[in-house]
Amino acid sequence: WVWLEYDPAGGTHGRASLPAFLRAGVRDGARLLAEHCQVLPLQPGLETTPFGTDGTVLGRWVRRTVTETGTAAPADGHRIVTGTPDGHTVTLPHPLPGGGSPVPLGALTL
């Protein structure tokens, strides 16, 4: 996956870069799952969305713990974490007991 800068006024793509919001989800020992990440500009009327916003964007980043080949999994098991622009995160075991691998949408602010 490659994220490209986009100029909505001109409709042109720019250089490859990772938006600051997505960079916030990058951690050592984890892989950002770009195919599940989303960033959208905040539209008028959505300022109080329960999905979380920093006042400029809506979206989520998703990462999963990874280990190097031949090394043991973390003592507490692998995790999948989703974060939203307001700083909230949701963490699930990966895979879930029974083998499921859901990806959280985010954390609702109620």
pLDDT digits (tens, 9 = 90+) for 28-68: 888 899 999 999 889 999 988 888 899 999 999 999 987 66
Name the pTM for this structure.
0.78
According to the model, what pLDDT value does residue 68 have?
62
pLDDT above 90 coverage of the chain, percent: 29
Residue in this structure with the two tokens 């008028």, named with its chain if needed: 44
For residue 17, name the pLDDT band (cuts at 50, 70, 90). confident
DSSP alpha helix (H) spans, the chain: 20-23
The mean pLDDT of 7-19, rounded to a whole number, is: 88
Element (H or E) spanning 23, and its range? helix 20-23
According to the model, what pLDDT value does residue 5 have?
84
According to the model, what pLDDT value does residue 1 have?
72
